[in-house]
Chain A
């Protein structure tokens, strides 16, 4: 046995160095400093391809995310982390780590309150930023409002206020969110909108209790809002008024009885009863919002006993069920008053969390997917690779169904690691291949138990006792572990890569083949899509992996298919036209796909001349299906990536489509029931083709640059089945989309990826995989075939019980991905996750992973959209939410009064997300068919960290950047603002991004100098609908560019920038993202909470 791991240059710099990405990033203003850092980080080999010969087996990705994302680069990492050493991390980060359920350490701070709490918050959620922001602007309104509103509350508030302002690091607001909010809120709306109301409200119903917010999420948003300080939220008065306004201002805290019980800390709200969750201050504590209806909810609303202990968290042995939760009292009658600022909101954190996957031989629950964290693999795999919806596994199926939660894994086997994380170790077992259980074939992992002096080991999946291979034998130490356990990565790491031996290969590892297929039909030419595609490809060529194993091919198509013979011997590329689009074929077997090194020149010439060559093309037809098939035939021998640039509805040849959307529209009144069929592929043709593609390891990525309906529902089947993805540029603008097209393409070919992959997830006895879902092809039930897989692809694996598990044992999951690197190495990446089993329902709720759960709900909803009426899907989503909350309410929160909506701390944002989901493109009733199809398709492989922003985008205020500059520490991105139009002011400029699109909204009365600085225009009217972000020489503009770049990095996406202004469709679009608003077809957040509350109540009775 080769010594595994050891010297293996697992660390070798990743082959893909994102830096490279940066260099060409167009239109990105690059932060030089960052870049430098990044390069340092990548350190060893900035351009790995050349430098690292294969021999070294530089694990392609191991290096973690391709290095330090240079500015401008997509790589997600926030810039700071780019520095290699963890040490660089802000000190506070470290302590901060334990976001959710930090162990006991936390509580004290709370109690003591001020200083520690400050620390916590910042660390926790990385909310550091948000709080500040909140704090900063706050003062004004804050102070005033509280004062006016409520006597009791104010004092505290105020006290906080100062504190917060002072040391940004401590955002007192966080922990104490409770107290803080109210004031803030009150302050905000009140002043302008409805002071009068406010007062009455206050007096009348001190209904709402301060929200208790988990440090991570809670308050910041509120803070943010306040900070923005919208003088007069347009809607505020009316909309909020009924439900929240009263509550909100009510500084309920002050007035309301609940407040009464002054929290131990200084928190006014903290419930008097220790057991009560109430304490606003304690992150875990439940906050109850007493129903306002009745005058006083004097009744102390300590819903759940033991709430206090929440802080003990997951790690704790079962037994104590301190459930963190949040309760709100909502009036059934609708008169409820809720402070919108106190309702649970997402908070983003910009500080980095340090996460050890196991601690004291216990699985450590992962940080939120959306947070920035650095993982130390101490036995379990990083949550980047596998996340479970619940971090404890219910022992029985009954327990699981009682919880109404689902048990599923989100597997992202090649996820981009944080640059500061240790690279994955590569282990070579030589000819014999990795050690595996002889019965269930699971791979050796840290949870296999060696016995009998190491001569045998017990499989943690099937329980079988295997003989240790002689070469692999090692004695056990006194602790029962193998003596070499710490030297062997496969025995101490949750994720390792094995070099695949011959038996894992049916053929030699395939070369990296990139085939570009470009639509040159009239429309594509005239809209500039062809030129954009050619230019993007031409620039990307230099980013393709170097070496003899990289092959490229290119073809264009209109009503016929044009291949190009790129052989170097020819003076010029030779164009080969395949005219038969009903029965296609590849015109040449060789020479159409050529080694990159051999055809670089030809390729460049060709790409340059394609747009002019077809300049006068009058062929409107597009033979997409045939072209894809033909290209496939050319690639059939090797497999590879097929990148298709399509601009119009395929109208001829195999798999041609019709504009059924139009038909659908005309029938919609009659055939509402059938409307969802438009979201299904029109027939099986493309599906059949795609399955064949997958069989031959061809992965199709589709870049749709169109201005019309293209039936994405049908087209997307091909990428979806072959492990590819759809990029959608609608309406395509050659001016503003070219850069994104290029960057998308660049990331597509540069990101860590693998070919001809097979993936399987194994579970311990008692659990089995029920279904996989994502972008892949499945031929046998147990395996997932992935012609290509990359760091951005996630597969949802739903699990089911087939037996009982033992309390106190652990249940393991292992994802094995066999793939070929771009450099032609066959590897097996094995990630193992072992989680404790529990019989306690409360444990389930406490260890629920909100992001993962919601991602599952979202993906399931997406899967179901095409199969039934939309209303049904929407109801299902809401019901999923209700059922979980109901279960919690019924079984875990027995004490609470019926008037309270009680949310488990871990899932407190579930209603908000569910509401956002209902308002998302996919589930909206008014969306374009293609938009919805794209949404469904986009969601399918979407990694967990991107799920949340997709439905609940991040919004930040731009116009104030300047002023706040000083307050911003190393994080570039300011605190985000809740998605409610009341936070949008007419003289503000806001940026909203969801990982795909980035809207910049310009209010109607923005100061001219702001406009001038940001966009170089002097009035809102000059805004053109084709927007390119430029960097001007002023701090504000630089700041904006820095922010956009940072977001791009985080999202690994270039973002489609759009400038929106009030009053036209772009403005409408912007406001459609304000998911907390009431819309003609949807409830406001508060209304939705009330709705859910009612549903739960009705179930209770």
Chain B
């Protein structure tokens, strides 16, 4: 396992198969596809230099020179050979001085991942205007919520870097585009919520071409294309310039004044508001990094993108409704947001959603727009909840735990010719750059070798799925001299400081073919990565494939893998054993089956969409926690130690810390709970107890500090109502119909199978 982590720390990449099946048939037997989970902006070791020049590129395939390139120092005209297409390339003159002893950094063997600062003159020109934040604020919420939201926003305003541009749109029944640059009065452009406005109309109606003739043709976009800075500056202002105005607007912000009949939902035109925000950014700052930050307090009921009618008698959609396809608004809304996402991707802008409501707000429909633009999403019950408040603060926080928000990324892949790309599951959008590397099988964002990442941050992780197309061919096996596959991931992006950068990661993986490859493959198997890839895959399939049965698919895959890679005698379940490399994979699968990603019926479509979006953007470590939460036990007897994710881990004198990524539960055993209630920890003689109580809290805080979105912290006692957050995640080894009493004194009221039963079945089926 450790070696995979090392690899990850060097190249930010985790692959289920680090030794690849060399042929199509072998790959098919592997069940889990050849894939990579790549975190493009994972912070590099501090020692890594930032190369202040543009990389050398192969003149044939445009891949970037890497340590794997073969360099011929001998000839006078020094030459490097592209490792992907074997093209011979001359070095440019300024490289003439290189030698084996004098290598440029990009050729250092350990610098398989390296970052260049590219010069992009036009981007440079804009220099400082690093980022644009356009707040889109829902006002159809109760006063209390609005109060929370206002204070959160006011707080955040103070944190926005001074050179960032800020804009504000509020909406309810109508959309209010605030003109922050108008000194005399607060000024608002009001658009009807029920009507979609086109970009042209917006240009027209907001008076962007008042003082100069409108270009007769061509795309109208930004200052470069004929818009006066003045007219842009009406809506988007440097934070330092508009702080006062914005503060007063926010302070006076009122609940949407339109009356709501008691049998109706508030008229909320989320879709129109977002569309207007997109237009506004498209008009003012196309191509430069900008984020639409939407704060939603309820479902959209008005205009395009409505997810439900205003009539309260119509219940909001559930998974069941979606399955039955009986949701009248769903497809229309999704279609609308797809169009919005296309527009945003085209403009290079991000949609972030902060959905804070007890009700669903339509994240399921918005998912496409958030995900394709690489937006952040936070789901909470209330604007007053710390999940929201702290998450929002994190976005603007600088320092160690900053999110490293970057923008305008373009991601490209080069790989050896026997490998093709099926697609990417993750927060990106296809740029439709088709080429020979595109596989015919498509998953996620496929059919391309370049993707747009409008927004990306330090943890944004893409799951790239490949296809081996090499046919089984004895010859090939014979000449295994060159059994390396190469992958190169190129990420251009605009760094938070405004620089344009290019990060190049080049990977080389050995492939094997023919009989007897099992051991080789096992040796390169990364269970965690595999589990995550399976999770992303199953989520994706559940969303896209009709009639898809995820449990069955997961079980079949697991059984297949077990029978493929397990050691057993046929039809003898008891003889079954798995290599340590694979040993906990079944457990991952067991928990995955029980996870929120697969068991959707306890969740709303919004929650499911939320979970999946996070899953699709997080790195392996975080994703694994989502799939199989971690459980740490604290007791007087021992220090913190991992505990089995099993109901059996519950004990009266233990404190458990469960990290299921979205929720962190501090669970006090019944005895501890009693002590706590009695207030012993406040007594000086019981300092140890106080420490015991504090330890999990400290650990939880540490987790919370690093995580985005900020998880929900639940502190509960055994048998308390909140204990359900823990129990739901535990292996139900003791249920109400198991015999005897569990050691911890707790049982789980469920009919779900326990892990033991699951394993029994697995062994039985695997050996058949």
Contacts and interface: CB of A to CB of B under 8 A. Distances in A.
Given A564-B185, A590-B257, A609-B185, 17 more contacts: A563-B190, A570-B186, A570-B252, A573-B185, A574-B185, A576-B188, A577-B179, A577-B187, A579-B189, A579-B190, A579-B191, A580-B192, A581-B205, A585-B192, A588-B258, A589-B257, A618-B211
A591 interface: yes
Interface string B176-205: 100100101111111110010100010001
A585 B174 contact: yes
A613 B187 CA distance: 11
A361 B624 CA distance: 106
A583 B195 contact: yes
Specify which of B176, B187, B190 lies most central, judged by the most chain A CB atoms within 10 Å of its CB: B190
Interface in B355-383: none
A267 to B, nearest CB: 76
A572 to B, nearest CB: 6
Contact of B259 (A573, A589, A613): A589
Contacts of A570: 186, 252
B184 A613 contact: yes
B722 interface: no
A619 B184 contact: no
A589 B176 CA distance: 14
A386 B445 CA distance: 82
A591 B174 CA distance: 15
A589 B173 CA distance: 11
B185 A588 contact: no
A559 interface: yes
B187 A619 contact: no
Contacts of A562: 187
Contacts of B195: 580, 583
A560 B185 contact: no
Contacts of A606: 185
Contact of B174 (A571, A587, A612): A587
B192 A575 contact: no
Contact of A619 (B188, B207, B248, B258): B207
Contacts of B201: 580
A276 interface: no
A1063 to B, nearest CB: 44
B142 interface: no
A385 B15 CA distance: 96
B645 to A, nearest CB: 54
Interface in B219-262: 248, 252, 257-259
Contact of A588 (B182, B192, B257): B257
B210 A619 contact: yes
Nearest to B249: A574
A560 B174 CA distance: 16
Nearest to B258: A589
A574 B249 CA distance: 9
Given A570-B252, A583-B195, A591-B257, A618 B210 contact: yes
Contacts of B197: 580
Nearest to B193: A585
B257 A577 contact: no
B688 interface: no
Contacts of B259: 589
Contacts of B339: none
A562 B187 CA distance: 9
B207 A612 contact: no
Nearest to B174: A587
Contact of A577 (B189, B192, B211, B248): B189
Interface of B: 174, 176, 179, 182, 184-192, 195, 197, 201, 205-207, 210-211, 248, 252, 257-259
B186 A572 contact: yes
A587 B190 contact: yes
12 contacts: A572-B185, A573-B185, A574-B187, A577-B187, A578-B189, A581-B205, A587-B174, A587-B188, A588-B257, A612-B184, A613-B185, A618-B211
Contact of A576 (B176, B184, B210): B176
Given A588-B257, A591-B257, A577 B185 contact: no
A560 to B, nearest CB: 6
Contacts of B248: 571
A551 to B, nearest CB: 16
A571 B250 CA distance: 12
The 6 tightest CB contacts between A and B, nearest first, are A579-B205, A587-B190, A575-B187, A577-B189, A574-B186, A575-B185
Given A570-B252, A574-B252, A618-B210, A583 B192 contact: yes
Contacts of B211: 618
Given A590-B257, A591-B257, A619-B207, A578 B184 contact: no
B257 A574 contact: no
Interface in A588-630: 588-591, 606, 609, 612-613, 618-619
B188 A575 contact: yes
Contacts of A609: 184-185
Nearest to B205: A579
Nearest to A569: B252
A572 B187 CA distance: 10
A267 B189 CA distance: 80
B673 to A, nearest CB: 48
A560 B206 CA distance: 8
Contacts of B185: 564, 572-575, 606, 609, 613
B284 to A, nearest CB: 16
B234 to A, nearest CB: 11
B210 A580 contact: no
B203 to A, nearest CB: 11
Contacts of A612: 184
Nearest to A612: B184
A560 B257 contact: no
A560 B188 contact: no
A564 B187 CA distance: 9
A576 B190 contact: yes
B206 A579 contact: yes
A576 B188 CA distance: 5
B186 A560 contact: no
A575 B205 contact: no
A467 B434 CA distance: 95
A574 B259 CA distance: 20
B182 to A, nearest CB: 8
Contacts of B258: 588-589
Nearest to B194: A585
Given A574-B252, A587-B174, A590-B257, A580 B205 contact: yes
Interface string A977-998: 0000000000000000000000
B264 to A, nearest CB: 15
Nearest to A620: B210
Nearest to B202: A579
A619 to B, nearest CB: 6
Nearest to B251: A571
A575 B187 CA distance: 4
Nearest to A585: B192
B403 to A, nearest CB: 34
B207 A560 contact: yes
A562 B206 CA distance: 12
A782 B215 CA distance: 57
Contacts of B187: 562, 574-575, 577
Contacts of A591: 257
A545 to B, nearest CB: 26
Given A560-B207, A583-B195, A618-B210, A578 B186 contact: no
Interface string A540-566: 000000000000000000011011100
Contacts of A589: 257-259
A578 B190 contact: yes
Contacts of B257: 588-591
Nearest to B184: A613
A1058 B192 CA distance: 47
A589 B207 CA distance: 25
A574 B257 CA distance: 14
A619 B206 CA distance: 11
A581 B204 CA distance: 11
